[in-house]
Structure 1
Amino acid sequence: MTATRADLHIDRPTVADGATLWRIAKDSNALDLNSSYSYLLWCRDFAGTSAVVRDERGEPVGFVTGYIPPDRPGTLLVWQVAVDAAQRGRGLAAGLLDGLTERVAAEYGLTAVETTITPGNTASERLFTSYAERHGATVERTVLFEAGDFPDGPHDPEVLYRIGPLSLREPSL
Structure 2
Amino acid sequence: MTEKSSETTAIALRKPNKDDGYRLHQLVAECPPLDPNSIYCNLLQCSHFAETGVAAEKEGDLVGFISGYIPPMQPDTVFVWQVAVHEKGRGQGLAKKMLKEIVARDACKNVTHMETTITEDNEASWALFRSFARDMGAEVTYHEHFEKETHFGGQHDSEFLLRIGPFTKP
Asked if Structure 1 and Structure 2 have the same fold, meaning a TM-score greater than 0.5 normalized by the shorter chain, the answer is yes
Residues 139, 166 of structure 2: 8 Å contact kept: yes
Instruction: Tell whether the 8 Å contact from 2:79 to 2:114 is kept in structure 1 after alignment.
Output: yes
Aligned residues: 163
Q: Secondary structure at the match of 2:66?
A: strand
Match status 1:162 vs 2:163? yes
Q: 1:107 to 1:141 in 2, by over 3 A?
A: closer
Structure 2 residue aligned with 1:51: 54
> Following superposition of structure 1 onto structure 2, how do residues 82-121 of structure 1 map, counting pairs within 5 Å?
82-104=84-106, 107-121=108-122
The answer (yes or no) to whether the contact 2:78–2:108 under 8 Å persists in 1 is no
Which residue number in structure 1 is paired with residue 70 of structure 2?
Answer: 68
Q: Report deviation, 1:77.
A: 0.2
Q: Pairwise mapping of residues 123-138 of structure 1 onto structure 2 (< 5 A)?
A: 123-138=124-139
**Paired residue for 2:5?**
none
Deviation track 1:1-33 (CA, whole Å, cap 9, x = no partner) reads xxxx86211100011111111111111112111
- SS of 1:62's equivalent in the other structure is strand
Counterpart Cα distance in 2 of 1:157 and 1:151: 8
The separation in 2 between residues aligned to 1:26 and 1:56, in whole angstroms, is 20
**Matched residue type, 1:150:** H
CA RMSD in angstroms, aligned pairs only? 1.6
Aligned to 1:33: 36
Q: Which residue identity is paired with 2:55?
A: V
Letter in 2 for 1:134: D
Deviates more, 1:109-118 or 1:26-35: 26-35
| Rounded Cα–Cα distance in structure 2 between residues aligned with 1:34 and 1:90 | 26
Letter in 2 for 1:168: K
More divergent stretch after superposition (48-57 vs 126-135) = 48-57
Instruction: State the structure with more CA Rg.
Output: 2
Percent sequence identity over aligned pairs: 41
Structure 1 residue 98: Cα displacement:
1.0
| Residue identity opposite 2:141 in structure 1 | E
SS at match of 2:167: coil
1:23 aligns with 2:26: yes
Q: Secondary structure at the match of 1:78?
A: strand
Deviations 1:50-69 (A, max 9, x none): 00111133x32101000000
* Structure 1 residue 152: Cα displacement: 5.3
State the distance in 2 between where 1:159 and 1:129 align.
Answer: 14
**What runs of 5+ residues in structure 1 fail to find an aligned partner?**
none
